[in-house]
Amino acid sequence: MILPAMVCCCWIAPPPDGPIAPTRVLRADLAHGRVTVSVEPPQLAPGTRLVLAAELQPVGWFELTARKDDKAVFSRTTPTQAEPTSSLSAWLVAPNTTAQLLERWPYDAPLTAPLDSIGPGAASAWIAAGTHHGLRVGDQWWLRIAGQPVARFDVRAVEPETCFGAVVPLAANVSLRSEQAVELWPTPAQRRRGAGHSAVAYVERAGDVLLVWAAAPRSVACPPEPHLDFYRGGRYLGHGVVEARDELFWYARFTPSATRTRPERGTQSATTSPTATAPASRSTTRPDSGELAPLDDTLPIRVGDLAVIRTQADIAHGRLRLHVFEISSDGALINGGEGDGLAPGRTGSLLRDGQPLGQVELARVQRGYSAVRPIGGADAWSPAPGDEVRFRPPPPRPTLVGRIETVVERTLFTAQLATGARPPLLVPLALRSSDGTTGVGVLLATNGPSACGFAVTLVPDVTLQAGDTLWLDEPDANPTQDR
């Protein structure tokens, strides 16, 4: 059946040079998998694809097969049936769409890609992402298994669809294989904001002290003694200051959020710990087994926990999320000081479990910690270990845009919009399942409470499912642990 087509869905046209652009369907021979559309200069880039939808129901993806003058033919090997009365809508999707969307990439959304091939001796690897995904020489990927960082990939060369990297092992006896999913580290949004996360690779006891090894990122600008805040499942665990480092790890003494051990007054010590003086190549796995480090539920921190790095950009822009770690005669002690741009007399908000309690004032500031006291209302509330202190309002939380209803060909979808939602089109949205954020999608068109769109990226081996949700980040959205 050859169908005439007209665009009837409601959308906002993007700029002419945008990576996703609506186009007019001139002829559709769906029984043979061919669609002819109208195109305008400049020449379509090789690899441009077409999304076709009947009303708001996605039909499928089509590949560019021919171009002449102001017309282009897109084809697919799978024949598609559509009702003769269906009105067809189409969008051109450039091969570098991911790269062009990075400036609005949701904060907690990863950029994932599969390992394409492994080099001899597992010393190098090809990863299935390149300049079309915003990659550049000097970027890093990492591989985590059960949360534990086990390998880092330093990008040495980049092509449009692939990149080549040197493999830096972070754990012993880890077998790399094709199709394993790796993540860009830091994420696109963290890189854009100058922020950074790491993760606990090993925890070692030294008497009553817990020595934490965190995987060392190479491209995050931070103070000489980086400060780490540790979280698990959104729950704050404690903090530590990096006392020593090498090519593989940062080493920090862990201070639990409810500790009663008061820090020494004055300048913090940068004394190297016994663990930090051990060989830098020392394995982060059990020496007697070579297996991945086991989870130890008896410790307040464990392998795989999130380590949020306090970066120079965080300090410069006031994005400090400090915590009370002890109550003293001077007031509540928080894990930020002169090195973080704090000064006596500055006021901020005290929060508990995300809810504001009142205002506090910096009473005394040392290099690495400060004392705060409540401002008014002190009889009704008082700070406690684990409470949060902010000196600027928390950024807005993401907004629920809609919920996936149907999925076509793994990445195309229809969605039911949330009540009152006014979602922007062609803007990156975080895709979330019950297991967390799994990718990024965009809406192509809306009609009343319904919408259609596609996933720009997905965690490899993950398929969209009915019930997954779409979320819009504000320009300065909260980091993952805020949610």
pLDDT-derived band at 329, boundaries 50, 70, 90: confident
User: How does pLDDT run across 263-318, given as a tens digit for each residue?
Assistant: 333 333 322 222 222 323 333 443 334 455 555 567 899 999 999 999 999 999 98
From residue 117, how far is each of 138, 152, 176, 177, 243 by CA, in Å?
A: 19, 15, 9, 7, 37
Tell me the average pLDDT across 394-404.
89
User: How does pLDDT run across 426-479, given as a tens digit for each residue?
Assistant: 999 999 998 888 899 999 999 999 999 999 988 877 889 999 999 998 765 444
Can you identify the CATH homologous superfamily of domain 106-191? Answer: Rod shape-determining protein MreC, domain 1 (2.40.10.340)
Q: Residue 480 gets which letter from DSSP?
A: G
Q: Is the peptide bond before 42 cis (omega within 30 degrees of 0)?
A: yes
User: CATH assignment of 322-390?
Assistant: 2.40.10
pLDDT at 378: 57
Instruction: Tell me how far apart the alpha carbons of residues 363 and 22 are, in angstroms, rounded to a whole number.
Output: 58
Q: Which residues contact 23 (CB under 8 A, 6 or more apart)?
A: 37, 38, 39, 50, 90, 91, 92
User: CATH assignment of 399-482?
Assistant: 2.40.10.170
pTM > 0.75: yes or no: yes
Pairing of strands 140-145, 88-93: unpaired
Pairing of strands 235-245, 399-408: unpaired
Give yes or no for a contact between 414 and 58, defined as CB atoms under 8 angstroms apart: yes
Give yes or no for a contact between 195 and 479, defined as CB atoms under 8 angstroms apart: yes
Pairing of strands 181-184, 20-23: unpaired
For residue 52, give the nearest of 76, 71, 84, 69 by alpha carbon.
Answer: 76
Give yes or no for a contact between 78 and 60, defined as CB atoms under 8 angstroms apart: yes
For residue 455, give the nearest of 423, 409, 397 by alpha carbon.
Answer: 409
- 3-state SS assignment for residue 482: helix
